[in-house]
Structure 1
Amino acid sequence: MDGRGVLSVSVLRWDRAPEPTDWGKVGSPYKYAAQRKVAFAGYASIGSDHAVVQATCNTRNAYMSVEVDFWGDRVENTPTGYKKLQRFLNSFVPEETKKFGCTH
């Protein structure tokens, strides 16, 4: 490893109901970002190099937010480049929601 980062992830659990969000606008500052379907309960705005996720917990009074930044030569700045982050999130987010007691 040469010491350069390629992925940064922030995971937060909130013990309150989520604020209403316009998921069509969340990703507007990021390249090729749009609301995308995910394989877990929740919402996501995913682009080629950035993602914002709200994962639904088993209780209405809790949720988790995940923010991901992806950079370097592995980023595909194309209209379908978001698929790399989407695959990562579909695997990573359910593991994290279980680890933090959000889902079973």
Structure 2
Amino acid sequence: MPVEKSSLSPLIPDGDRLKQTYEDLESRPGSSCIMSVGGHSVLAVNLLRWDRAPDPVDWNKVGSPYKHAARRKVSFPGYASIGSSHAIVQATCNTRTAYMSFVVDFSGDRVENTSTGYKKLQRFIDDFVPQETKKFDCTK
């Protein structure tokens, strides 16, 4: 899925070769994408589309195992816990009985383990998630 260069470039280090591996899941609607530079993974995203209402989640606690993770406001209908290197996202579909879940792992020397380091990952999520929800007929 194409994203704005400004949302992806802060996550990707300068280096050898950028490689992207994208795989559609066979068991249910969803996909997995891994981006690597010079053979080292820098960004991994797993997403699933669910045709049911989401289970209750305490968004203030879901990210607690990760550095600087907290509930963040996002640019799309849904919820997110975003930290400096990890995010858990739930995007609401157009119907109350469907949603999409995203798990995003960011690694490498571009990770900023600071209280404001989450902003890099959030820019990407705010750009990427709405495009993926459209692709999986979750939103229009």
Deviation at 1:3, TM superposition (A): 1.1
Structure 2, unmatched stretches of 5+, are: 1-16, 18-37
| Matched AA of 1:49 | S
Matched, 1:81 2:95: no
Task: Give the TM-score normalised by structure 1.
Answer: 0.99
Distance 1:67 1:47 in 2: 12
Q: Which residues of 2 match residues 27-66 of structure 1 at below 5 A?
A: 27-66=63-102
From 120, 128, 139, give the equivalent of 1:92.
Answer: 128
Distance 1:93 1:47 in 2: 16
Q: Identity rate of aligned residues, in percent?
A: 74
Q: How many residues align?
A: 104
Distance 1:19 1:11 in 2: 16
Distance 1:58 1:90 in 2: 18
From 4, 10, 14, give the equivalent of 2:46.
Answer: 10
Cα deviation code 1:72-103 (max 9, x no counterpart) = 10101100000001000000000000000000
Q: Quick one: higher RCO (CA 8 Å, sep 6+), 1 or 2?
A: 1
For the residue of structure 2 that corresponds to 1:6, the secondary structure is: strand
Task: Give the TM-score normalised by structure 2.
Answer: 0.74
For the residue of structure 1 that corresponds to 2:55, the secondary structure is: coil
> How much is the aligned-residue C-alpha RMSD, in angstroms?
0.4
Deviating runs (4+, > 3 A) in structure 1? none
| Matched AA of 1:83 | K
Cα deviation code 1:6-37 (max 9, x no counterpart) = 00000100000000110000000000000000
**Greater share of strand residues, 1 or 2?**
2
Structure 1, unmatched stretches of 5+, are: none
